[in-house]
Chains A and B, each alone.
Chain A
């Protein structure tokens, strides 16, 4: 487009000083490898954090005397592992999404929003539910071990707090899913506009 044909806004935009980057293919290769290492390090960090969280449970699992206790800690560890794997699979951070050049912006943006909506929409099944078996067994085990009304009240209170936290997490995700769905609907409407 020649200078005369551009309107003032286009001129202002195109004439701005730009801090571009010039990279040789060799440098690009190195940066791409560095970028991959960065993603790998981030993943390793996430798994180490999960291991640290699971370590006390692992200790209790090994040192527990009865089968109930072992089942409790075993189930909690399994739930945590499942949660972390799913979080990694469904999480919002991805290194380089596929189809960058083949998909139009509309298709790509919609697919990314749908992926995120699916993750928050199903948070109950992959983030909250996996911890429930371990917590249930823990409650039953504690109730059997201490058959006193005061201990049962304490257990009931603890379970109520956990249920409350689960409810808040679930509600926040339902809200996020609705917000994402609205954005998806807007894109669908834009797709159907002629």
Chain B
């Protein structure tokens, strides 16, 4: 895919290659099934529209994740008025009593539910970083998508690893 590709071609490619990742992203931003479907649809429409202005100044992957996360952050802000749940940052989560203990490992499905609920209580920017980390992006890519400095991303990833590692190690030894 190049800058010269048509918006339709770019969208087709994005949906094919990143469709599953976008589905996971929507799941991380919206717990309600119907609203999640709407959000995912909104992301796809936003992507298709955005490709008419894609100029290749950043990679296609960066563009796709920026659009998807920005639509999702917008969704979180819209829902903020109707939902009372307070969102927290990684630092607060790490410092909460039992914060490192968020993921009680009983079985795989239970572990996943705990991981998901932890992600869903994070502020949008921290949610973005943890999702990118879970998708396997490196610090440089996360920095380019989020706009956070590489140093800041490294600190956040360190916190994420602290939050996750112990519990998963525990899970594997059972």
Contact = CB atoms under 8 A, between A and B. Distances in A.
Nearest to A93: B78
A23 interface: yes
A5 B64 CA distance: 24
B2 interface: no
Contacts, number: 156
Contacts of A104: 66, 144-147
Nearest to B53: A101
Contact of A9 (B66, B78, B155, B164): B164
Contact of A109 (B46, B73, B108, B151): B73
B152 A96 contact: no
Interface stretch (A14-22, A73-81, A126-134, A150-158): A14-22
Contact of A106 (B20, B44, B147): B147
Given A28-B44, A31-B41, A190-B125, A10 B53 contact: no
Interface in B8-45: 8, 11-12, 15, 19-20, 22-24, 27, 36-37, 40-42, 44-45
A6 B136 contact: yes
Interface-central residue, B8, B19, B45, by most chain A CB under 10 Å: B45
Given A10-B136, A97-B70, A22 B15 contact: yes
B49 A106 contact: no
A159 interface: no
A112 B125 CA distance: 13
B124 A9 contact: no
B20 A116 contact: no
A109 B125 contact: yes
Interface of B: 8, 11-12, 15, 19-20, 22-24, 27, 36-37, 40-42, 44-46, 48-50, 53-54, 57, 63, 66-67, 69-71, 73-74, 77-78, 81, 89, 108, 111-112, 115, 123-125, 128, 133-136, 144-149, 151-152, 155, 164-165, 168-169, 171-172
Interface of A: 1, 5-10, 12-14, 16, 18-23, 25, 28, 31-32, 35, 92-94, 96-97, 100-109, 112-113, 116, 183, 186-187, 190-191, 193-194
